[in-house]
Amino acid sequence: MQYDHAHPVCSGQNASPRQSKLLARADAYISQRAGMVEQTFRHTYHAMPPVGWMNDPNGLCYAFGKYHVFYQFHPYAAAWGPMHWGHYTSNDLIRWELQPTALAPDCAYDKDGCFSGSAIVKDGMLYLMYTAVADGRQTQALARSSDGVHFEKMGQVIAEKDIPRDYSVADFRDPYVFVRNGVYYCLIGSKHVDGDGAVLLYRSDDLMQWRYVGRAWKDGRTHNGTYECPAFASFGNVDALFVSPQFMDCDGDRYENIHSNLYMLGKLDLQTGEFRRTAECETDGGFDFYAAQTLTLPDGRTVMTAWMQMWDRSFPTAPHGWVGALTLPRELTYRDGKLFQAPVREIEAYRTDRVSYPQAEVDGTLRLDGVEGNTIELSFDLDLGASARAGVKVFCGDGCEVSIYYDRTKELVCFDRLHMGTLIKAAPGEHDSVLRRAHIRAEGGRLHFRIFLDVSSCEVFLGGGEQVLTGNVYSAGKGIEFFSEGGKAFVRNVEKYTINVPRT
Ligand code: FRU
């Protein structure tokens, strides 16, 4: 795309003609090309770009009677490029309806991209706060809408002069805005000049004028990278700060991706900005989970979704004309010093073709009639019995399979996609792109598995959601096989549903 760098800063009440033209061009391109996208690995119940590239979820919100999720979007190629904001709406967080593209980079201050950000409703208007990128400089800008579909840019609201000294202007991004007692706060991912990743807190009374409060977090774990995409939620007296640290070291079975995801529990001091951490967990131990955003729903539930992909690897669907999807939105609950995750209960309305088995013995391998498919929910209680390893193989067929199993001696659940039939090139510095693990106790040799497959994705909720492993799988098979090694195991309360979400 061509950008006119001399274009004047746009602000005020109306979307500029240039913005409208760029959005119309993106939408015309989408309607022309969406039908040409190769369907093989397209999901059926996950949000994904109609064509082109998607990364982070942005602006997850409830406004004008609907849920909205925006996303980092490059319509014109299945590769990252000048960032637009794509837009979906939904009545139930499962069935997404494509909306016109919401933002395109066109102003002097955002000409190189409208990067990640968040949304908030104020006085009946929907506001998007996003990172404006121009000539390597990152600032925060605002856009607003009175109908939830068309947005007008309002200009920069946190400019370069508002960045505290000693923090990089090249790494100052992903504002997460929230309100407490009528005051607006915003957490921004950042990097100190000493190379440490950081998260900064700002406050505002009107979303337009912002004042720096203080540093919420800073440490050297990002190895000269940024704490990207902060998000925030409160569970009673406990606050949770979600971040996506770049380049964090692997720590045994945790943080095995080159860029990680974690949440800290503790308390955010709104006066000083400081986040006092009492606990910390990897949010999802799988291959493909980044840039999580959270939203408190009108009914009080806290929901999270994330980009179901990972930077710096090869992307098998790129030659198909699309890349990237969002995880199932997940309800978060706080219990016993950690967060538990479950897919939003609205998914249950789309269950069909129930197949169930109260109990089955697994001695070697076991197939159960009717338990198969690649757009399904599968749950079971694994009883390890006398086995050393037991679990399930999914996406089986044509010599391909993906194993999800419990390793008793190591007390680990493993998600092994080595034999999925497609090679994903690991990110530079990543030890592999085929095995991810989660440490979890199988009390009494038993563990609950709840698995969602959607053509090319697999989300594994363990032990009631205390650990989750998410990964993409590019395989043709639909077979499912339970297995045990080193002795007999049992599967109990096996339940399989097809998830059938009509396309919009
Ligand atoms: C995270 C991220 C953000 C940035 C966006 C750009 O995945 O790098 O920090 O705003 O993607 O697309």
pLDDT by residue (tens digit) across 303-329?
A: 999 999 999 999 999 999 999 999 999
* Residue 114 CA to ligand 1 centre (angstroms): 10
DSSP single-letter state for residue 426: P
Nearest atom in ligand 1 to the alpha carbon of residue 83 is 12
Q: Is-contact 285 256, C-beta < 8 A?
A: yes
290 Cα nearest atom in ligand 1: 7
Could you report the per-residue pLDDT of 101-143, keeping only the tens digit for each?
A: 999 999 999 999 999 999 999 999 999 999 999 999 999 999 9
**Helix H or strand E segment including 23:** helix 17-33
Q: Which of 116, 131, 187 to mutate to test the pocket of ligand 1 (most atoms within 8 A of CB)?
A: 116
Q: Which two tokens stand for residue 164?
A: 């505290």
Q: Does the pLDDT at position 297 exceed 70?
A: yes
For ligand 1, mutation pick of 229, 248, 311 (most atoms within 8 Å of CB): 229
For ligand 1, atom 8: residue with the closest CA:
228
Quick one: what percent of the chain has pLDDT higher than 90?
96
**Cα 261 from Cα 278, distance rounded (Å):** 17
CA distance 370 to 366: 12
Residue among 53, 56, 73, 323 to mutate when testing ligand 1 (max atoms within 8 A of CB)? 56
What are the tens digits of pLDDT across the range 64-95? 999 999 999 999 999 999 999 999 999 999 99
- Contact partners, residue 469, CB within 8 Å, separation at least 6: 284, 285, 286, 404, 413, 415, 436, 438, 459, 460, 462
> What atom in ligand 1 is closest to the CA of residue 311?
7
Contact between residue 361 and residue 387 where contact means Cβ atoms under 8 Å apart: no
The set of catalytic residues is 56
1-161: which CATH number, 3.40.640.10, 2.115.10.20, 3.10.20.740, 2.130.10.10? 2.115.10.20
Torsion sign over Cα 439, 445, 448, 452: positive
Taking the CA atoms of 241, 244, 248 and 253 in sequence, report the sign of the dihedral they define.
positive
Task: For residue range 225-260, list pLDDT tens digits in order.
Answer: 999 999 999 999 999 999 999 999 999 999 999 999
Query: What are the residues whose beta carbons fall under 8 Å from the beta carbon of 35, sequence distance 6 or more?
Result: none
Share of the chain above pLDDT 70, in %: 97
Cα of 81 from ligand 1 centre, angstroms: 11
Query: For a pocket test of ligand 1, which of 83, 114, 115, 131 has the largest count of ligand atoms closer than 8 A to its C-beta?
Result: 115
Which runs of E-coded beta strand occur in 297-399? 302-307, 322-323, 330-335, 338-343, 351-362, 365-366, 376-383, 389-397
Kindly report, residue by residue over 256-285, the tens digit of the pLDDT.
999 999 999 999 999 999 999 999 999 999
Ligand 1 atom closest to residue 80's alpha carbon, by position in its atom list: 12
> Nearest C-alpha to atom 6 of ligand 1 is from which residue?
115
> What is the C-alpha to C-alpha distance for residues 16 and 9, in angstroms, rounded to an integer?
10
Above 80 in pLDDT, residue 295? Answer: yes
Encoded amino acid at 285, one letter: G
What pLDDT is stored for residue 503 in this prediction? 82
Question: Which protein residues touch ligand 1 with a CB less than 6 Å away?
Answer: 55-56, 72, 83, 115-116, 131, 173-174, 228-229, 290-291
Helical H segments across 383-501, by residue range: none
Cβ atoms of 104 and 52 closer than 8 Å:
no
**Structure confidence by residue, pLDDT tens digits, 194-228:** 999 999 999 999 999 999 999 999 999 999 999 99
Closest atom of ligand 1 to 189 CA is: 9
Tokens of 361: 């013995």
Q: Are 362 and 384 in contact (CB under 8 A)?
A: no
Q: Give the atom of ligand 1 at the shortest distance from the alpha carbon of 56.
A: 7
C-alpha separations of 465 from 194, 283, 448, 462 in Å: 37, 11, 9, 5
Ligand 1 atom closest to the Cα of residue 307 is 7
Q: Pairing relation of β-strands 238-245 and 227-235?
A: antiparallel
Cα 158 to Cα 109, 125, 308, distances in angstroms: 11, 20, 30
Domain ranges of the chain: 1-161, 163-295, 351-499
Confidence at 1, pLDDT banded by 50, 70, 90: very low
Q: Inform me whether the pLDDT recorded for 18 exceeds 80.
A: yes
pLDDT digits (tens, 9 = 90+) for 474-489: 999 999 999 999 999 9
Q: What is the pLDDT, as a whole number, of residue 5?
A: 31
- Tokens at 458, concatenated: 């697999």
Structure confidence at residue 12 (pLDDT): 38
> What integer pLDDT is reported at residue 9 of this predicted model?
41
Average pLDDT over residues 450-476: 98
Q: Residue 397 region, left (φ>0) first, then alpha (ψ -120 to 50), else beta?
A: left
Query: 219 C-alpha vs ligand 1 centroid, how far in Å?
Result: 20
Q: Do domains 1-161 and 163-295 have the same CATH topology?
A: yes
Provide the whole-model pTM. Answer: 0.96
> Distance (Å, rounded) from C-alpha 480 to C-alpha 470?
18
Looking at the domain that runs over 351-499, which CATH code has it been given? 2.60.120.560
Nearest CA to ligand 1 atom 9: 228
Per CATH, the number for 163-295 is: 2.115.10.20
Distance 42 CA to ligand 1 centre (A): 23
Q: How far is the CA of 131 from the centre of ligand 1 (A)?
A: 9
Could you tell me the distance, in angstroms and rounded to a whole number, from the CA of residue 72 to the centre of ligand 1? 8
CA–CA distance from 80 to each of 73, 188, 264, 347, 422 (Å)?
A: 8, 22, 29, 30, 22
What integer pLDDT is reported at residue 7 of this predicted model?
A: 36
The CA 293 to ligand 1 mean position distance, Å, reads: 12
Residue 13: which pLDDT band, with cuts at 50, 70 and 90?
Answer: very low
Mutate to test the pocket of ligand 1, among 73, 173, 257 (most ligand atoms within 8 A of CB): 173
CA of 71 to the centre of ligand 1 (A): 10
Atom of ligand 1 nearest to the CA of 116: 10
**Ligand 1 center from residue 226 Cα (angstroms):** 10
Average pLDDT, the chain: 96
- Taking the centre of ligand 1 as the mean of its atom positions, its distance from the CA of residue 373, in whole angstroms, is 34
